[in-house]
Amino acid sequence: DKIEKQLKKHLSKLRGRRPEGEVEESITEEELEEPIIEVERLVAKPMDPEEAAMQINLTNQDFIVFRNAKSQEINVLYKKKDGNLGLIEPAG
């Protein structure tokens, strides 16, 4: 009995060991979430990408969120570092 208890104790210790170099990190959900600094609500106006491009150039904004008049999907038009415009459309 004594040897059996020692064997069980030894085996449970072996099962609890982690491979060398592996560290258990405990991160809470709160640590994973970045704080939201500011919330801005906007109305995504229906327009085509060309109209959004004119709007972004007139207002000197870096991006504009709009509802694509043809697809009715929310799109984002943004200024790229090279000065051109990029369009983000939802996939699927």
What was the pLDDT predicted at 56?
93
What was the pLDDT predicted at 14?
60
| Domain that residue 7 falls in | 2-88
- Split at pLDDT 50, 70, 90, the class of 77 is very high
What was the pLDDT predicted at 31?
61
What was the pLDDT predicted at 89?
94
State the Cα angle at 54 between 51 and 60, rounded to 5°: 135
15-72, pLDDT tens digit by residue? 665 555 555 556 566 666 677 788 888 889 999 999 999 999 999 899 999 999 999 9
**DSSP code per residue over 21-54:** T-------HHHHSPPP---------EE-HHHHHH
Instruction: Give the CATH number of the domain where residue 41 resides.
Output: 3.30.505.50
- For the full predicted model, state whether its pTM sits above 0.85: no
Q: What's the number of domains the chain is made of?
A: 1
